[in-house]
Amino acid sequence: MKKIAFFDTKPYDRPKFELYGEQAGIIYKFYETKLNEDTAHLAKGCDGVCAFVNDSVNEAVIDILEGLGIKLLAMRCAGYNNVDVKYARKRLCIVHVPAYSPYAVAEHAMAMLLTSIRRIHKAYIRTRDFNFSLVGMTGFDLHGKTVGIVGMGRIGRVFADICRGFGMKILAYDKFPAEDGDIPYVSLDRIFSESDIISFHCPLTSDTYHMLNAETIEKLKKGVVIINTSRGALIDADALLDGIKSRKIGATCLDVYEEESDLFFEDFSGHILEDDTLARLISMPNVIVTSHQAFLTEEALANIAEITTDNIVEFFTTGSCKNELSIN
């Protein structure tokens, strides 16, 4: 049986991974700590490592894992911007979960949008105090509004289908536009200047880093709603805050944040938040923040566990994996 060191474990991870691990003959050794230079030695005696979005897989960590005889790093997520894939080449095999449930993330994006524009979160708080006033609760219809979708992979396409159901006009941007379908692909400038709502569904790369910044915010339609359920660093958080304060941005829905790695997935309710930018964003009445929650459905958790386990089995059986990451 293969033994896998499983880092950054949360209570909702274990049931599905234990189930699929047992079926496949894999033992997952669960650690609550994140993977980094100080904790990588915990993988000693294991055949592989399983990591998540906020684990650190830099050169130093890769060197430690290689020194321990680790051959496989299995990312239980789609994104891998926290992994030095180029350095890992010829040292470790890196695999990931390219898709687990586009519906989970796309539906969460729409849930945040509806909550924001219809003031659902505010209504919930008011009525619990028996305050039934509607003053300050006016929203707007989604029907007829233009939504700009940045990134038209599986999640972007599902989000487009959802928006179409609301009668919205769709504009899309993708570095590699699909030729099929009836979705109009336009430039980023048109997305920024014409959209009433902009939703980000693209990976984080050198090209997409801070694609929403002080300069591009100037191009936005006044009152635009920004949604990000993809990667935090797509947006310059300080520029975003300035855009909100200047009333250029009408509302913001964030499930990810640029500096989330030491904050999200943890309980800091009894502490003073050191990140001033995030604290100020959360304090804004037109900002909704969820802590990287979009993926968290029963269906997605099951898919993640199953695909990750299949990746591990395939690698140790054949020496390769169809979901291996590689940079030439």
Residues noted as catalytic? 231, 260, 292
Q: Which residues pair with 241 in a beta bridge?
A: none
Q: Comparing C-alpha atoms, which of 256, 254, 252 is closest to residue 225?
A: 252
Q: Give me the phi and psi of 10, to 5 degrees please.
A: -115, 160
Q: Comparing C-alpha atoms, which of 95, 93, 86 is closest to residue 65?
A: 93
DSSP string across 62-105: HHHHHHTT--EEEESSS--TTB-HHHHTTT-EEE--S-S-HHHH
172 CB neighbour count, 10 Å cutoff:
22
CA–CA distance from 90 to each of 35, 63, 66 (Å)? 20, 12, 10
Containing H/E element for 326? none
Q: Which two tokens stand for residue 130?
A: 């028996």
Rounded CA separation 106/163 (Å): 10
Angle between helices 102-117 and 120-128 (to 10 degrees): 60
Q: Give me the phi and psi of 125, to 5 degrees please.
A: -65, -45
CA dihedral 309, 315, 317, 322 (to 10 degrees): 90
**Is 47:21 a contact under the CB 8 Å cutoff?**
no
Place of tokens 């496989």: 72
DSSP string across 11-31: TTTHHHHHHHHHHHTEEEEE-
**Is 187:219 a contact under the CB 8 Å cutoff?**
no
